[in-house]
Amino acid sequence: MSRPVPRPYLANPQITKAVLERHQFTIQKKYGQNFLIDPSVPEEIICAAEITEEDFVLEIGPGIGTMTQYLGANAREVTAVEIDRMLLPVLEDTLQGYHNVEVINRDILKVDIRRLAQEKNRGCPIKVVANLPYYITTPIIMKLLESHVPIKSITVMVQKEVADRMQSGPGTKDYGALSLAVQYYAQPRIVAEVPLRCFMPRPKVGSAVVHLVGYEEPRVAVRDEALLFRLIRASFNQRRKTLVNGLKNSPELHVSKEAVEAAVTAIGKPLTVRGETLTLEEFAALADLLSGRQTGEKSGGKMCVSG
């Protein structure tokens, strides 16, 4: 039988303030540090992520350990990756008794998550939970999705605007490269909107918790994934242009105007169509039609989206 761990106690403004003062910790804006101070939020995250005592959980950015305490209390094992080494003594203090939690002092973008899943969970799908640092939300999400790490779900706090973009569909103002990239790999769902008062210090923008469940196979089959991503990027880089103009002018696509026009017509769209109205399936069909019709150099294949 596993040893019991303490009850979480940190999600509270007075206690958070006292911990920060005791350790003379200065909040680092550059690391996107906004600590949770309302217990309803970690409780909701635990519930949305369906954390059970069977789970291994990777937490990104434990901060002073607020969410980490809840994870320690509910999961089998937790690895929490924190970039700020000044938080290590704080975490040593607040995670006392949480013997199932390991803290790693690293930049999550440099961690081999696949290896971590292998070592900690015998390569079985892991759950990822985080109140993400907003300055690198997109690179972190894309790393998790693209690196073919076995992932059961990702439950993360992000800016409300980013959460909206992740789950938007064609023809809406929030629809863009991030929507398509996320939806290619996973099904996103906003599970909660979180008011500013739930954080210390208060962020400038609203937040939301989004739950992503990864597909076993990407949502669409496409011959050349790299080309699909280049097409998407080119379409949204020049959002106000027609799809044909966006694609033929893109420096990373080498396709003739005729080839683009023929492909757009073949998917049943008028030549005046804008990329922002196309579904993921239509982008995939376009990529298949244009695959092998490129001239000259190709550039990298990973989805590089801003935000």
Q: Does 81 bind ligand SAM (CB under 6 A)?
A: yes
Q: Give whole-number Cα distances, 234 to 178, 241, 254, 268, in Å.
A: 13, 10, 11, 20
Per CB under 6 A, the list member of 51, 66, 162, 229 interacting with ligand SAM is 66
> Which residues in 232-261 are b (16+ Cβ under 10 Å) and which e?
bbbbbbbeebbbbbbbbebeebbbeeebbe
Question: Tokens in use for 207?
Answer: 């937040």
Cβ burial, residue 212 (10 Å; 0-12/13-18/19+)? buried
Q: Does 61 bind ligand SAM (CB under 6 A)?
A: yes
Q: Does 82 bind ligand SAM (CB under 6 A)?
A: yes
Site string for ligand SAM, 98-117 (x = CB under 6 A): ---------xxx--------
Q: Give whole-number Cα distances, 123 to 56, 100, 129, 211, 300, in Å.
A: 11, 18, 18, 21, 28
Q: Does 49 bind ligand SAM (CB under 6 A)?
A: no
Closer residue to ligand SAM (CB): 109 or 271: 109
Q: Does 288 bind ligand SAM (CB under 6 A)?
A: no
Q: Does 48 bind ligand SAM (CB under 6 A)?
A: no
Beta strands in the chain (DSSP E): 35-36, 56-60, 77-82, 101-105, 126-131, 151-159, 186-194, 199-200, 207-214
Q: How far is the CB of 88 from ligand SAM (least distance, A)?
A: 11
Q: Report the residue number whose CB is nearest to ligand SAM.
A: 61
Q: How far is the CB of 38 from ligand SAM (least distance, A)?
A: 10
Segment contacting ligand SAM by CB under 6 A, of 28-36, 178-186, 235-243, 273-281: 28-36
Query: What are the residues binding ligand SAM (CB under 6 A)?
Result: 31-36, 60-63, 66-67, 81-84, 107-109, 131, 133, 136
